[in-house]
């Protein structure tokens, strides 16, 4: 029986948890990680499977029903299917999803499916080998495409492709990526470049705005119309191509912030609880757990964290301060 829901001071109910299982990654996307000398958390500081499962059970007792496993690159975490099986078995987790760069999907799509995973977001910005290499500083496009094909055949439902929208870079990829997705039954979600990169490369002029992509797709493929989402708190706005060709989504965090509908909390790989991707403060779940705290004490920390949540990230105001952790160390 769930306890009272997690509500913040703006009345937003939090039922969505993202758990990062590692800050390590096998590629080096420039809008997330530095090219070299990445500072990773010591292995002993990363939550183990027991700690992650315990936290998820506590969150579920507080009303969380949606769970996403992320990273860093979650597929580099050893024995990930074992963890996924344990998380999928928690009654109360109604929606379990995973975000990956897809490089290890050729090996892991099947064991993850067998462990109970059905929903995948695969990060793919381009079908062009050179641009893939430029963006990720690695030559792994073929593995991602092979992994997607295996996942499609296995029957994962509604595979989504996460494409980061960076101006003066990915314009040539917008249409080919959408066509590839439509042909394979995937859905692209264009994510506006956010100020979460490790090298402070972001500025507003580098954001390829959702409106610009919508105009390109409408002109080159077919007119797009916004469709109401069954879950109005989902971050993506969905659009449908005329003629029933399929859908695309937009996560327009910069040009159309959706903070008023936010229902998400995040647990980092090193056990810090964050009420926002852009939060400056965080709460230390791991230390509490490792000092022998009861489930009730941990639940109280989660409630306090959510109760103190700010109204929104203020990217569009002069007050905005980028968080001290880049994307890979938070968990996107």
Q: Is 128 helix (H, G, I), strand (E, B) or coil?
A: coil
Decide if residue 162 touches ligand SAM (CB under 6 A): yes
Q: Are 239 and 226 in contact (CB under 8 A)?
A: yes
List the one residue from 19, 33, 163, 315 that touches ligand SF4 (CB under 6 A).
33
Which of ligand SAM, ligand SF4, none does 191 bind, CB closer than 5 to 8 A by kind? ligand SAM
Decide if residue 73 touches ligand SAM (CB under 6 A): yes
Q: Are 158 and 120 in contact (CB under 8 A)?
A: no
Q: Are 155 and 134 in contact (CB under 8 A)?
A: no
63, 183, 190, 200 from 256: Cα distances, Å: 28, 29, 13, 22
User: How far is the C-alpha of 156 from the C-alpha of 165, rounded, in Å?
Assistant: 25
Q: How far is the CB of 238 from ligand SAM (least distance, A)?
A: 17
Q: How far is the CB of 70 from ligand SF4 (least distance, A)?
A: 8
Comparing CB distances to ligand SF4, the nearer of 32 and 145 is: 32
Q: How far is the CB of 274 from ligand SAM (least distance, A)?
A: 13
Which of ligand SAM, ligand SF4, none does 196 bind, CB closer than 5 to 8 A by kind? ligand SAM
User: How far is the C-alpha of 272 from the C-alpha of 135, rounded, in Å?
Assistant: 29
Window of 39-47, 97-105, 240-248, 269-277 that interacts with ligand SAM by CB under 6 A = 97-105
Window of 94-102, 172-180, 260-268, 280-288 that interacts with ligand SAM by CB under 6 A = 94-102
Q: Are 324 and 280 in contact (CB under 8 A)?
A: yes
Window of 152-160, 189-197, 240-248, 259-267 that interacts with ligand SAM by CB under 6 A = 189-197
Site string for ligand SF4, 75-104 (x = CB under 6 A): --------------------------x---
Which of ligand SF4, ligand SAM, none does 323 bind, CB closer than 5 to 8 A by kind? none
Q: Which of 109, 159, 105, 103 lies closest to 136, judged by CA?
A: 103
* Range 315-321 contact pairs with CB under 8 angstroms and sequence separation of 24 or more: 315/194, 315/195, 315/253, 315/254, 315/257, 315/278, 316/254, 316/257, 320/195, 321/280
Comparing CB distances to ligand SF4, the nearer of 123 and 209 is: 123
Decide if residue 283 touches ligand SAM (CB under 6 A): no
Any bridge partners for residue 160, and if so which?
A: 121, 187
Q: Which of 56, 138, 51 lies closest to 90, judged by CA?
A: 56
Helix count and strand count (H, E) for the chain: 10, 14
Q: How far is the CB of 273 from ligand SF4 (least distance, A)?
A: 20
% helix / strand / coil in the chain, to the nearest 5?
Answer: 35, 20, 45
List the one residue from 8, 15, 173, 197 that touches ligand SAM (CB under 6 A).
197
Q: Which of 31, 10, 98, 19 lies closest to 64, judged by CA?
A: 19
Comparing CB distances to ligand SF4, the nearer of 108 and 182 is: 108
Q: How far is the CB of 11 from ligand SAM (least distance, A)?
A: 27
- Phi-psi region at 116: left, alpha or beta (left = phi > 0; alpha = psi -120 to 50): left
Decide if residue 193 touches ligand SAM (CB under 6 A): yes
- List contacts with ligand SAM (CB under 6 A): 25, 31-32, 70-71, 73, 99-101, 123, 162, 164, 191, 193-194, 196-197, 327-328, 332
- List contacts with ligand SF4 (CB under 6 A): 25, 27-29, 32-33, 71-73, 101, 123, 327-328
């Amino acid at each position: 029986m769930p306890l009272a829901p997690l509500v913040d001071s703006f009345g937003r109910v939090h039922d969505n948890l993202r758990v990062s299982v590692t800050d390590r990654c096998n590629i080096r996307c420039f809008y997330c990680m530095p090219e070299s000398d990445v500072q990773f958390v010591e292995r002993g500081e990363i939550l183990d499977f027991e700690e992650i499962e315990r936290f998820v059970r506590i969150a579920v007792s507080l009303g969380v029903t949606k769970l996403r496993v992320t990273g860093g690159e979650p597929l580099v975490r050893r024995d990930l299917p074992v963890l996924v099986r344990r998380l999928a078995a928690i009654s109360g987790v109604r929606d379990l999803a995973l975000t990956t760069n897809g490089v290890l999907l050729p090996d892991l799509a099947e064991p993850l499916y067998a462990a109970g995973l059905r929903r995948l977001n695969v990060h793919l910005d381009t079908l062009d080998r050179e641009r893939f290499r430029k963006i990720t500083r690695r030559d792994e496009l073929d593995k991602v495409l092979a992994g997607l094909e295996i996942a499609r055949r296995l029957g994962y439902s509604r595979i989504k492709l996460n494409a980061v929208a960076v101006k003066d870079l990915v314009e040539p990829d917008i249409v080919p990526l959408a066509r590839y997705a439509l042909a394979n039954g995937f859905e692209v979600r264009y994510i506006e470049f956010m100020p979460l990169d490790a090298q402070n490369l972001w500025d507003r002029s580098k954001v390829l705005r959702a409106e610009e992509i919508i105009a390109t797709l409408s002109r080159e493929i077919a007119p797009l119309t916004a469709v109401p989402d069954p879950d109005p708190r989902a971050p993506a706005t969905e659009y449908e191509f005329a003629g029933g060709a399929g859908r695309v989504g937009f996560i327009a965090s910069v040009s159309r912030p959706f903070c008023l509908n936010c229902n998400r909390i995040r647990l980092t790989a090193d056990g810090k609880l964050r009420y926002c991707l852009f939060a400056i403060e965080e709460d230390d779940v791991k230390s509490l757990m490792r000092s022998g705290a009861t489930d009730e004490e941990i639940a109280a920390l989660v409630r306090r964290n959510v109760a103190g949540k700010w109204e929104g990230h203020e990217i569009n105001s002069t007050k905005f301060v980028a968080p001290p952790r880049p994307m890979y160390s938070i968990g996107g």
